[in-house]
Structure 1
Amino acid sequence: MNIGVTGNTGFVGGNLTSYLKSKNYNIIGVSRTPFKSNELKYSDLNLTVWNSINTFIHLAGKAHDLKKTSKENDYYKINTELTKTLFDQFLVSDCKVFIYTSSVKAVADHVDGILTEGIIPNPKTVYGKSKLAAELYILSKIIPENKKVYILRPCMIHGPNNQGNLNLLYSFVSTGIPYPFGRYVNRRSFVSIENLCFIIKELIDNNKIESGIYNIADDEHLSTIDLISIISEVLNKPTKILKLPKLFVRFIARVGDFFPIPINSERLLKLTENYVVSNLKIKNAIQKTLPLSSEEGIKKTITSFQK
């Protein structure tokens, strides 16, 4: 079976490509600047190519820019307009399945309670707005009866060698620096790359799963203190947790908005906010147990940092 994958050289795309190849799928990578002879440019996606593909997975996109140096138009050009073009091509082709990887940020930047697919989207960032615009375009089209279309909204994706806020927490524990945000009590959802790949494979294989929007998350929710404990266990290194006054912590984070220190306001928010995502809809759809628990997935990611 031929599967087209955009963004196949990125963290998610690279892992997904390896995973699907191990299951004997033939992967056709698509990008602006192909690295290998068997990869295609977007301009190469003519009807003949589309008709040879059974499933098309659109992962490519412009990620949220923590440094805030990107232009607003860049997000819409890549996240919205490219998706529109690819989806239009899919609709007139013989390709049967289109999987678009959006984000929970297309719905909400902050969550009170639990994020479900039924919540009315109200993104605040241009990243979230550009992702939502692509979703709305897909949803505005009539889908032929012989095709399936899935919009996936993953929460924070992690996995071996992925750099992100987990890496920042890892640095606290590995260097013996006390974790200073102990006064913050929170719950967050994560999804391991292995669970995400597993879910995508189920969508490819099971034509009984209905088209629609699906949140993607691990089963359990973890606090940042939980993450510190897991990292400490993997490294076999205890970490002291400080309970500094929140006012002082916010001041330090504000300083980090202007000077290159490890913590700034956005990182503080990501480390300490509540963001719980329900995965009940996708779990009910695939009717299978996810390969990894949240703790197991985090342990695999942290173990990779040691290498």
Structure 2
Amino acid sequence: MSVSKILVTGANGFIGKALVSRLLADRQYAVIGATRDKTPANAQCQFERLDLTDPDVLPSLRDVQVIVHAAARVHVMNDVAVDALAEYRKANVEGTLRLAKLAAASGVKRFIFISSIKVNGERTGPGRPFRADDTPAPVDAYGISKREAEDGLMKVSRDTGIEIVIIRPPLVYGPGVKANFLNMMRWLSRGVPLPLGGLNNRRSLVALDNLVDLVITCIAHPAAANQIFLVSDGEDLSTTQLLLRMAEALKVRVYLLPLPETALRLAASLLGKKAMADRLCASLQVDIEKTCSLLGWSPPVSVDEALELVANRPS
């Protein structure tokens, strides 16, 4: 598929900003960055406004061949919205489908949707990684909204012929990462002893550079049309292993106490941190065999290379 103009939504976000920079560096495309209320951080691209919650704020799609839709109401821990699912649906379902229908009517050829592994579920059992063709089993409001958006996009494709590509990443990390990943790196940098030295779980992560590389592969690859892809670095780590690899990238000494998982979970429950313990102790693995075989793709950046980038450019 010949592509010359691409619109990236969420162009100031963690994924969108990196994608715009990579597309501009490739010098193959004219890039439009769509954001809600600010011009894109990268001044080299064109600008359009998009508010997923406002039907009157939609971008011009003239001559756009591909949309990469990275904008969303993101997952929020301890969401205080009275009806969290309704709030997620406004942006992630209604706003996404409004944009997709406009895209189809405007002659856009392909719509790439950055979804979430939360569509598959929250955790995996031993030797049972999530696969792209698994029956969806989202648990929280964010995952439910992403699943509903996926279903709606596939209906838009059937009704209009626009090609849909769905990518479900697990936790994405890279320069500028926030939240728990950044907190762990800060704890390690400060030499804080952590009771996380005895965990044998397995978690799939994806480096920002690897996710961006897959998105670019999906822009024109003929086999990507109307497919769902899972993505990861191709190496699953326990929380303990991840912390050790982080410390190596940071070039700091690590202090990990081998507290048994049962004791860790009990202590976390007593402190009101049960959800945090679940994220640290549970497994969440993804199988990327379909992604690699169908697209001829493999993660170009290793875990250690990606951690080095975060350590050297934390923000």
- TM-score > 0.5, shorter chain as reference: yes
Between the aligned partners of 1:176 and 1:44, the Cα distance in structure 2 is 48
Between the aligned partners of 1:298 and 1:144, the Cα distance in structure 2 is 43
Aligned residue number for residue 261 of structure 1: none
Change (3 A) 1:20 1:206: same
C-alpha offsets along residues 30-61 of structure 1, whole Å, 9 cap, x if unaligned? 22213259421234646xx3241011011111
TM-score (norm 1): 0.89
Range moving further from structure 2, 96-105 or 63-72:
63-72
Aligned residue number for residue 11 of structure 2: 8
Give the drift of 1:158. 0.6
1:123 maps to 2:138: yes
Q: Secondary structure at the match of 1:135?
A: helix
What percent identity do the matched residue pairs reach? 26
Give the drift of 1:288. 3.3
Contact 1:217 1:279 in 2 (8 A): yes
Change (3 A) 1:66 1:146: closer
Contact 1:59 1:100 in 2 (8 A): yes
1:35 maps to 2:44: no
Between the aligned partners of 1:208 and 1:247, the Cα distance in structure 2 is 45
C-alpha offsets along residues 216-261 of structure 1, whole Å, 9 cap, x if unaligned? 111111111111211221232221221224454334423554xxxx
Contact 2:119 2:136 in 1 (8 A): yes
Aligned residue number for residue 181 of structure 1: 196
C-alpha offsets along residues 167-203 of structure 1, whole Å, 9 cap, x if unaligned? 2221232111222022321111011111111111111
Range moving further from structure 2, 177-186 or 97-106:
177-186
Give the drift of 1:147. 4.2
Change (3 A) 1:247 1:207: closer
Aligned residue number for residue 69 of structure 2: 58
Contact 1:110 1:274 in 2 (8 A): yes
Between the aligned partners of 1:51 and 1:58, the Cα distance in structure 2 is 17
Aligned residue number for residue 93 of structure 1: 106
Aligned residue number for residue 219 of structure 2: 204
Between the aligned partners of 2:200 and 2:120, the Cα distance in structure 1 is 23
Contact 1:230 1:299 in 2 (8 A): no
Give the drift of 1:269. 1.8
Aligned residue number for residue 240 of structure 1: 255
Give the drift of 1:135. 0.6
Between the aligned partners of 1:141 and 1:52, the Cα distance in structure 2 is 20
* Partner residue of 2:175 out of 160, 163, 178: 160
Aligned residue number for residue 26 of structure 2: 23
* Partner residue of 1:284 out of 277, 293, 296: 293
Aligned residue number for residue 260 of structure 1: none
Contact 1:221 1:294 in 2 (8 A): no
Contact 1:165 1:271 in 2 (8 A): no
Give the drift of 1:89. 1.2
Range moving further from structure 2, 282-291 or 121-130:
282-291
Q: Secondary structure at the match of 1:60?
A: coil
Between the aligned partners of 2:232 and 2:22, the Cα distance in structure 1 is 18
Between the aligned partners of 2:36 and 2:251, the Cα distance in structure 1 is 43
Give the drift of 1:152. 0.8
Change (3 A) 1:52 1:274: same
Gaps of 5+ in 2: 51-55
Between the aligned partners of 1:255 and 1:221, the Cα distance in structure 2 is 30
Contact 1:34 1:40 in 2 (8 A): no
* Partner residue of 1:229 out of 244, 259, 270: 244
Range moving further from structure 2, 239-248 or 172-181:
239-248
Gaps of 5+ in 1: 258-263
